[in-house]
């Protein structure tokens, strides 16, 4: 296998970006009590208490905007990227993130907040990843971009992305999840460290 030809792609939100501390801060600011809070739990709770979804939309605006200040790089990501660099992988971020869907803050789009976070993170400082970032307005456009880039691997936290009918079957799909469900066409990894181990074993 010629590693110089290999391309590794990552989703951004809830894949590379860990929003745990952002959610904790939001819950604290709004006096919301959730055991071991995360985005999925917060979304479910807010939607259960508001059929219009306005409370969840308001939370989204903050989490994906100024709330990114509290977010961190997912544990194990730096070590995985160091391994990919050592094997001459080209690395990409492909994210479904609308520039206008939620809200703009001080003339900065949500894409702008994400770019700022990446530029301040170790991903940009040590790996120059900001050169290969693609934000797409819809999920279909995101998947089309992944296909166009001819990625060898792609990591996402959403099975509906990886199982999408237009997703190129030649791409090796990795679902970042603690699910016990088995897939014929997807490899499941609990964390970034497990992805590194899978690659080292040749999977």
pLDDT digits (tens, 9 = 90+) for 122-178: 887 777 777 799 999 899 999 999 999 999 999 999 999 999 999 999 999 999 999
Average pLDDT, the chain: 89
Examine the pLDDT at 89 and tell me if it is beyond 90. yes
HSE of 6, CA atoms in CB hemisphere, 13 A: 14
Mean per-residue pLDDT, 106-119: 79
- Contact residues for 12 (Cβ-Cβ < 8 A; gap 6+): 93, 95, 97, 114, 118
pLDDT above 70 coverage of the chain, percent: 92
Q: Report the alpha-carbon distance of residue 176 to residue 98 in Å, rounded.
A: 22
**Domain 3-18+72-200 annotated CATH 3.40.50.1000:** yes
- Sign of the alpha-carbon dihedral angle for 59, 65, 67, 72: positive
- Which pLDDT score is estimated for 122? 82
| pLDDT over 60 (residue 199) | yes
- pLDDT, residue 108, reads 55
- Cα angle for residues 105, 26, 98 (degrees, 5° grid): 40
* Residue 112: predicted pLDDT: 86
pLDDT at 123: 80
Q: Are 80 and 195 in contact (CB under 8 A)?
A: yes
- In this structure, of 58-72, 104-118, 182-196, the range with the lowest mean pLDDT score is 104-118
Structure confidence at residue 99 (pLDDT) = 66
Q: What local confidence, expressed as pLDDT, does residue 3 receive? A: 44
Q: What pLDDT, on the 0 to 100 scale, is given for residue 100? A: 57
* E strand map for the chain: 7-10, 17-18, 72-73, 90-96, 133-136, 153-156, 172-176, 186-189
Domains in the chain: boundaries: 3-18+72-200, 20-69
Q: Is the pLDDT of residue 203 over 70?
A: no
Q: Is the pLDDT of residue 106 over 50?
A: no
């Amino acid at each position: 296998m010629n590693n110089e030809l290999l391309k590794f792609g990552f989703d951004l939100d809830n894949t590379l970006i860990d929003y745990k501390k952002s959610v904790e801060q939001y819950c604290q600011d709004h006096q919301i009590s959730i055991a071991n809070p995360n985005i999925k739990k917060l979304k479910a709770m807010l939607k259960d208490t508001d059929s219009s979804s306005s409370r969840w939309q308001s939370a989204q605006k903050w989490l994906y905007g100024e709330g990114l200040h509290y977010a961190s790089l997912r544990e194990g990501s730096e070590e995985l990227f160091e391994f990919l660099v050592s094997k001459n992988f080209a690395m990409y971020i492909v994210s479904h993130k609308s520039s206008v869907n939620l809200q703009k803050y001080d003339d900065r789009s949500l894409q702008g907040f994400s770019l700022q976070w990446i530029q301040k993170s170790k991903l940009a400082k040590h790996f120059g990843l900001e050169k290969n970032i693609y934000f797409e307005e819809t999920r279909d456009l995101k998947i089309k971009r992944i296909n166009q880039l001819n990625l060898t691997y792609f990591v996402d936290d959403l099975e509906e992305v990886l199982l999408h009918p237009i997703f190129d079957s030649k791409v090796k799909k990795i679902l970042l999840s603690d699910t016990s469900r088995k897939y014929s066409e997807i490899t499941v990894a609990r964390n970034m460290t497990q992805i590194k181990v899978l690659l080292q074993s040749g999977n």
